[in-house]
Amino acid sequence: MGKRNSSRNKGNALHFVSPGAYDTPPLYRHMFQEDVQLMGHFSRSRRNEKPSLRLEGAEEEVTRATSVCASIAGDRHYRGEENISGAIENVVLHLAYDGKALFEVVDDPENSAFSLSSFNPDYVWNLVFSYLQVAPRASWKYLDRKYTVLAKSAVWRVDMPQELGGARGFRRVLKEMSAWSSLGPEFYQHDLERRQLPKEFVFGDYRKAHQIQLYRATREWGWNGRDWSLDYITEYYQFYRHLTFKWAQAVLREHIAGEFNSLFRRLGISAQIVVEGLSSPGDVLEVREQMRAGALDFAGATKAIR
């Protein structure tokens, strides 16, 4: 899935595609990013269930907040909750690929409104009072400027929460997941292309080492690599990681809601996002501890988390 970008809003930020953005990423890195991206879908209610979040405030303020969310989402919907959901999903999408999301805040004084437009976080330098954005050379012929300076007051920045490593830690995880190919080392792939099978190379050993490396790289997240087999892991540790991934989802959910509420306050909008009926990070950790102590079995732990 590609990133949505509301380029219709006028601002000073440069809009370009980073070199290599369309290159095929390593398989497990891509799957991990997809699963992190899906964490942003908590805002959509299931059939016959109440929405898990709502905007709280006076009608006029909620309308203003919804309008801001629509600009972040890149698509304006008739139903207000669709705008909120779309905005959250778009922010999490950027976090899943870059570890951070940058949006330029564009003021529309004629309509007493604000709109936000995302821009590429690559080639951006964080200075004391501003951001310096320099376009890559390959994009110069498509742009009217090679660089721009954006005041920090005109930028909304959302980073991956520190509990999950922050933006830098997340990009380090992606780098570690790109270090090993799931198809084997290059010499092995070249031999297969020549229809030769290396006699001294045991792919099963490589597969085991690759899986261990994935577990190590994503231990803070608890990601299972979409693999519920017990080939290289105990059943207990598999489920422990599953609960850790639920905790990471709760951390990200709470962080995103807080960032949106901070944005509303910054823009002078007296509305806030309220999350209801979903487990907090503390709730998930408590369930995980109860499972570790033997007070809850796997089924009981699953039922205790929403």
Domain-wise residue ranges, the chain: 173-234
User: Residue 239 CB: number of other CB atoms within 10 A?
Assistant: 20
Nearest Cα to Cα of residue 88 among 106, 108, 105, 74: 74
What pLDDT score was predicted for residue 20? Answer: 83
What pLDDT score was predicted for residue 4? Answer: 44
What's the token pair of residue 214? 């994935």
Q: How far is CA 93 from CA 171, 197, 244, in A?
A: 14, 40, 21
How many Cα atoms sit within 13 Å of 305 on the Cβ side? 28
Which DSSP letter does residue 2 get?
P
Residues 30-54: b if buried by 16+ CB within 10 A, e if exposed: ebbbebbbebbebbbeeeeeeebbb
What pLDDT score was predicted for residue 112? Answer: 63
Q: How far is CA 73 from CA 39, 81, 203, 295, in A?
A: 16, 11, 44, 43
Phi-psi region of 225 (alpha: psi -120 to 50; beta: other; left: phi over 0): left
pTM, rounded to two decimals: 0.86
What pLDDT score was predicted for residue 5? Answer: 42
- State the Cα–Cα distance between residues 105 and 267, nearest whole angstrom: 9
Q: Which long-range contacts (CB under 8 A, 24 or more apart) does 236-244 make?
A: 239/291, 239/298, 239/301, 240/288, 240/291, 240/292, 241/215, 243/284, 243/287, 243/288, 243/291, 243/301, 243/305, 244/219, 244/220, 244/288
- State the Cα–Cα distance between residues 59 and 56, nearest whole angstrom: 9
What pLDDT score was predicted for residue 74? Answer: 82
The residues, ordered by sequence, that sit 6+ positions from 61 with a Cβ below 8 Å of its Cβ are 269, 270, 271
pLDDT one digit per residue (tens) for the chain, 306 residues: 444 444 344 689 999 988 888 888 889 999 999 999 999 887 555 545 665 788 999 999 999 999 999 999 986 665 667 888 899 999 999 999 999 999 999 987 666 678 999 999 999 999 999 999 999 999 999 999 999 999 999 999 999 999 999 999 999 999 999 888 877 777 777 777 777 777 777 778 888 888 889 999 999 999 999 988 888 889 999 999 999 999 999 999 999 999 999 999 999 999 999 988 889 999 999 999 999 999 999 999 999 998
Q: Are 279 and 66 in contact (CB under 8 A)?
A: no
What pLDDT score was predicted for residue 2? Answer: 47
